[in-house]
Amino acid sequence: MANHALLNSIEHSDLRVLTKRGEQYADNLWFTPTFVDEIRSVQAHYPIVFHKDPESGQFTPITLFGFEQHENLFLHDDKWDAAYLPLSVQRLPFFIGTQDITTDGITEQQRVITIDLDSPRLSKTEGIELFLEYGGNSQYLEDIAAILETLHHGLQGNQAFVSALTTLNLLESMTLDVTLDSGEKHQLIGFYTINEEVLNNLSPENIVRLHNTGYLQAAYLILASQVHFRDLVARKNQRISHAIDA
């Protein structure tokens, strides 16, 4: 359970962040959210599918790192083996929160940076400083703030993206059956993808509408990203092979 606190230079002046990668830093994620403007970067390295929240029924495009919970096949020798790290991973252990600010009797909600105080990435003896010795944010914290802002707007934009896809019946459930070199079988279920047949048979009007919003390109990039399922299988086989040899 995360222990979120409003980040401030008084209480957290001595905090540092470890930017190393590994399971010990809670990098054993098997998927993480992405968004339309990030899909081009993500699809070059990872498969992208859609996750449906069981409570709200809301769909979210996600970047997939493994076949089961707590499995990140991109972690290798305490390194993240991919040239691009999704923003929702880069920002950890920071999150966006809200705070009521009252000015001239008018109360408005303002976005603020929160930090998970229980994160294994935090240290007081090593890592990157958050605040400068004589006041002000470090460049690292400024970069994190920019990432959080981009992530906030990107994830908010997912609602319109998903609405456009569902309105045109472009999402369908998927099942991926995997047989590893060892004979072990895995089945990836519970996710959704773009229905390529429906996409290819859209009316010219709907194609133009999707194109003008950037959603048409995103849909085809998501389909193109599925080639990386083969990469995930290869990574899984390699991990099992290494475990046997060890």
- List the pLDDT tens digit at each of the 246 positions of the chain: 678 999 998 899 999 999 999 999 999 999 999 999 999 999 999 999 999 998 888 999 999 999 999 999 999 878 999 999 999 999 999 999 888 777 777 777 788 999 999 999 999 999 999 998 877 899 999 999 999 999 999 999 999 999 999 999 999 999 999 888 888 888 888 899 999 999 999 999 999 999 999 999 999 999 999 999 999 999 999 888 766 665
pLDDT at 34: 98
Q: What is the DSSP string of the chain?
A: ---EEE--TTTTTT-EE----SGGGT---SEEE--HHHHHHHTTTS-EEEEE-TTT--EEEEEE--SSTT--TTEETTEE-SS---HHHHTTTEEEEEEEEEETTEEEEEEEEEEETT-TTEESSSSEESB-TTSSB-HHHHHHHHHHHHHHHHHHHHHHHHHHHHHTT-EEEEEEEEE-TTS-EEEEEEEEEE-HHHHHT--HHHHHHHHHHTHHHHHHHHHHGGGHHHHHHHHHHHHHHHHHH-
pLDDT at 109: 78
In contact, 118 and 2? CB cutoff 8 Å: yes
pLDDT at 1: 66
The partner residues of 244 in beta bridges, in order of sequence, read: none
In whole angstroms, give the CA distance from residue 241 to residue 239.
Answer: 5
Alpha-carbon separation of residue 224 from 42, 46, 96, 118, 228 (angstroms): 11, 10, 31, 38, 9
Residue that has been written with the tokens 């456009």 in this structure: 164
pLDDT at 77: 78
In whole angstroms, give the CA distance from residue 122 to residue 20.
Answer: 11
pTM to 2 decimal places = 0.91
In whole angstroms, give the CA distance from residue 214 to residue 160.
Answer: 11
pLDDT at 246: 55
In whole angstroms, give the CA distance from residue 73 to residue 202.
Answer: 36
pLDDT at 76: 85
In whole angstroms, give the CA distance from residue 143 to residue 156.
Answer: 20
Supply 100's token pair.
């009521």
Buried-state track 138-167, b at ≥16 Cβ within 10 A, e below 16: bebbeebbeebeebeebbeebeebbebbee
Residue that has been written with the tokens 């190393």 in this structure: 20
pLDDT at 245: 61
